Chains A and B, each alone.
Chain A
Amino acid sequence: MTFGPSPRSGPRPLDSTAAALCVLDLGNGLWKDYSRAYRILRNVLCNKIMAEFSPTTETELSHKHLTPELKLHLITPTCRLWTSPPPHSPFLDPFWAFYWPGGQAVSRFILDNAHLVKGKRVLDFGCGCGASGLAAKTSTAKHVTFNDIDKVALEAVLLNGYQNNIVVDSLLSSNLIGSPSGQYDVVLVGDMLYDTDFAHQVLCWLQNLHESGSLVIIGDPGRFALESHPLKKLLMCLGKYELTEATILENRGYTQAFVWTFR
């Protein structure tokens, strides 16, 4: 995602969300912190589709999850899209609109073990709604990079950061699998091991990151792709959480989530 102005010049109509944020920002005296975030938001929200269906209008601010201290824009049973078939969704695969069980476990774990990220450079890989990265920021991480290949997810991260008075350090929409870690002390991976082939790629990369010195923290509800992978033997369990009823409802078959790291 670029931080510069949009290629189209001249005044642009403001989306009501962006306008509301602008007023709130000035009112709270937070304008300076949010000016960059606001510019990104404005660029994105000026897109016609986003102006009609922004993550704010199609979601509810929810705290019915394992990290109630974070309010997140999520599609919940009260939202129109909850019962819509996917083709009716204005967003292509809005994975950012659901707080996956593995992500919840990682975020809870980070909030409860703030010392692991304090003053550290953190990557929230496949961040979705950004909850794990926001948890790291709350736990006084030095710098958090939110990474997701879905740009709408990164927009949701900004909105969620705003809702929780957390400054979003940086956003990255490239596919990082296979890239060297160097720059991150801690890598958070919430519920990315859903598909057997993809999980294999991710796990091999994470093992490399671990070997080059990063602390890798994985959250997973017991998906088959992780349970059946040979690298599972190298992981140790750091935490186990019972999911809330609302989460069980949107994750048929899972009632718990686990936090893992490489031994």
Chain B
Amino acid sequence: MSLRVLVGCKRVIDYAVKIRVRPDKLGVVTDGVKHSMNPFDEIAIEEAVRLKEKKIAKEVVAVSCGPTQAQETIRTALAMGADRGIHVEIPAKEMEKLEPLHVSKILAKLAEQEQAELVIVGKQAIDDDSNATAQMTAALLDWPQATFASKLEKTDGELEVTREVDGGLETIKVKLPAVVSSDLRLNEPRYATLPNIMKAKKKKIAKMKPSDLGVNLASHLEVIEVVDPPTREAGIKVEDVDTLVTKLKDSGRI
């Protein structure tokens, strides 16, 4: 059996950028800030391409929901080896109101339309850290889910997935079709080189709107306030172990 794999990739503020809260405290500054593909989604794309190289997958379709610039994210996915892209256009000003549930509905609908048998997404996006899209997509499709995958192996009609859980590693089997979310150790994405970037320019990106998929972007969540994390206070030095123990006891830590 050869699978068609649908992979979600989100355009987020680059992991190396220092995040600044907007003056109105309802979001973060995105204008003029470097963006790139969510690193967990890069891992998801890489895994799908490796499945293709192992002849387990026949086609890898990269999907991104976002403004015009989301196409750059899709091009990156195509340069990594995805076969074609789908850009679900969300106007820039509506991006902030895009919730994991909306993206899940879009992915679920596309998985049906494309007759995908496997959906892989990053376990979370590094901008909102929601960690919800994979789970909700699986629920909407009524497919099994294997989240926080650190290893993927295909057995007859099933996937054997090693998951990173609190106590260590858990290995589960899920029947296909299924939804998988990638954890950090699933693989190490390969750097895209000139030949792959050039060839990616020839690959197709289909454009559509959420309404084309019958997805309504009505908000379910309201942002009340966004604040910077509290600044850490400087530590103190103590003379010896006894003083340390006393200090810890005094501050109620032990």
Q: Which residues of A contact B (CB under 8 A)?
A: 75, 77, 81-86, 89, 93-95, 98, 194-198, 223-225, 227, 248-255
Say yes or no for B193: interface residue by CB 8 A criterion. Answer: yes
Pairwise interchain contact B60-A253, C-beta atoms closer than 8 A: yes
Pairwise interchain contact B83-A86, C-beta atoms closer than 8 A: no
Pairwise interchain contact A251-B199, C-beta atoms closer than 8 A: yes
Closest B residue to A196 by CB, please name it.
B204
Task: Write the nearest CB–CB distance from A1 to chain B, whole angstroms.
Answer: 23
Closest A residue to B52 by CB, please name it.
A253
Closest A residue to B54 by CB, please name it.
A255
Pairwise interchain contact A86-B194, C-beta atoms closer than 8 A: yes
Pairwise interchain contact A83-B52, C-beta atoms closer than 8 A: no
> Which of chain B's residues 16-61 have a Cβ closer than 8 Å to chain A?
49, 52-53, 55, 58-60
Pairwise interchain contact B195-A248, C-beta atoms closer than 8 A: no
Question: What is the total number of residues of chain B having a CB less than 8 Å from a CB of chain A?
Answer: 26
**What are the residues of chain B within 8 A of A195 when measuring CB–CB?**
202-204
Is the contact region of chain A dominated by helix, strand, or loop, or is it mixed?
Answer: loop
Task: Write the nearest CB–CB distance from A70 to chain B, whole angstroms.
Answer: 18
Closest B residue to A223 by CB, please name it.
B83
> Which of chain B's residues 174-231 have a Cβ closer than 8 Å to chain A?
190-191, 193-199, 201-204
Report the separation of the CA atoms of residues A194 and B203 in the bound assembly, to the nearest whole angstrom: 7
**What are the residues of chain A within 8 A of B203 when measuring CB–CB?**
194-195
**What are the residues of chain A within 8 A of B191 when measuring CB–CB?**
83
Report the separation of the CA atoms of residues A195 and B193 in the bound assembly, to the nearest whole angstrom: 20
Pairwise interchain contact A252-B194, C-beta atoms closer than 8 A: no
Say yes or no for B159: interface residue by CB 8 A criterion. Answer: no
**What are the residues of chain A within 8 A of B190 when measuring CB–CB?**
252
Say yes or no for B81: interface residue by CB 8 A criterion. Answer: yes
